Amino acid sequence: MTPLIECTDVTKKFGDFTALSQLNLTVPPSVVYGYLGPNGAGKSTTIRMLMGLSRPTSGRVRVFGQDPTEPEVRRRIGYLPGELRLDERLTVGQTLTSWGRLRGLRDTAYRDELVQRFGVDVSRKVRGLSTGNRRKVGLVGAFMARPELLILDEPTNGLDPLMQQVFLTTVEEARDNGQSVLLSSHILSEVERVANLVAVLQDGKLAASGPTQELRRRAAQRFHITFAEDEDVPLAALAALDGASAVERRRPDGQEVSLTWAGSPDALLTFLAGHRIRTLTAPEPDLEEAFLEYYQQGVPGSRSSTAKEPSPAADPVR
Ligand SMILES: Nc1ncnc2c1ncn2[C@@H]1O[C@H](COP(=O)(O)OP(=O)(O)OP(=O)(O)O)[C@@H](O)[C@H]1O
């Protein structure tokens, strides 16, 4: 089956600055694809190329197997730009009607349902709408024609938590209906619930990509270990283990240590078997924390393995 989106070795330069480097990305049908990265990573640059609004410096971008500058490709996509420009003179209703006309929208029942769901007031003038309300109008416009592909640049920007939930439910519905959604965000937890696939972009390069569950499994794991009262806490030895990072004693004289572990925990468990421990807990890895490793360190586990004693002046309970 032809992928809906295919980027092959895509590089985008602005003068001497490389905004995207050798990007490879494939979005199959009926998925939600989370396109993640911190500010300035290159997400909007990618999206603008997918919409045919800019061209790659090198490499190939295909949407529905075609060049995205083809007008026919554009018509098949529901697009929410990062910065939505609206005609300030129109009402919200007139705006949606004019978009609908452009798309040849006949069945307006779903549009009306979305208007209700997002709490959009169609009688209001666009001028004077808040950022969040503009975003909601843009979302109704993107979803209303049930396009095969939705490309949404930072869709949850400015939405309150309730509207974020409404948005995520609408995304899930679209996927269940066989549509695909590519959505960019710099907040992983927003995307995690709905995304089947995620890609993490950092400084214009893919730091990680794959099924969300798999990335979760690969994510660095935090462990909390409490050693027995009369056991010397082997802080330096723990920090020296290959895979350990951010090794911290929770209290200056306490027996509790926490650390981040990358990869299979076999070696950690073997090490701990030689010590007397009271408790070992491993909270569900927080993907956000794991991706921060990508953002900050490049690859999980690459963080330097130094042991940290808490400063005696610091609040001992963290
Ligand atoms: N037209 C342009 N000319 C020069 N540099 C640009 C241009 N567009 C983007 N850039 C630069 O390319 C980099 C990537 O920008 P981009 O907008 O794609 O990031 P982003 O991941 O979407 O970030 P954000 O979450 O802040 O929107 C940034 O350093 C930005 O300053």
Query: What ipTM, to 2 d.p.?
Result: 0.95
Q: How far apart are CA 5 and CA 9, in angstroms?
A: 13
What DSSP string describes 163-197? HHHHHHHHHHHHHHTT-EEEEEES-HHHHHTT-SE
Q: Are strands 5-14 and 58-63 parallel, antiparallel or unpaired?
A: antiparallel
Across the beta sheet with 205-211, the strand order is 77-80, 149-152, 180-185, 32-36, 197-202, 205-211
Give the other-Cβ count within 10 Å of 63's Cβ. 25
Distance 38 CA to ligand 1 centre (A): 11
Q: How far apart are CA 41 and CA 69, in angstroms?
A: 23
Take atom 3 of ligand 1 and give the residue whose Cα is closest. Answer: 14
Q: Number of H helices and number of E strands within the chain?
A: 11, 14
Q: Is residue 155 within 6 Å of ligand 1 at its C-beta?
A: no
CA atoms lying within 13 Å on the CB side of residue 272 = 19
Take atom 18 of ligand 1 and give the residue whose Cα is closest. Answer: 42
Q: Is residue 175 within 6 Å of ligand 1 at its C-beta?
A: no
pLDDT one-digit tens code per residue, 149-203: 999 999 998 899 999 999 999 999 999 999 999 999 887 777 888 999 999 898 8
| pLDDT higher than threshold 70 for residue 68 | yes
Domains and CATH numbers, the chain: 5-216 (3.40.50.300), 219-308 (3.30.70)
The reported pTM is: 0.79
pLDDT one-digit tens code per residue, 43-64: 999 999 999 999 999 999 999 9
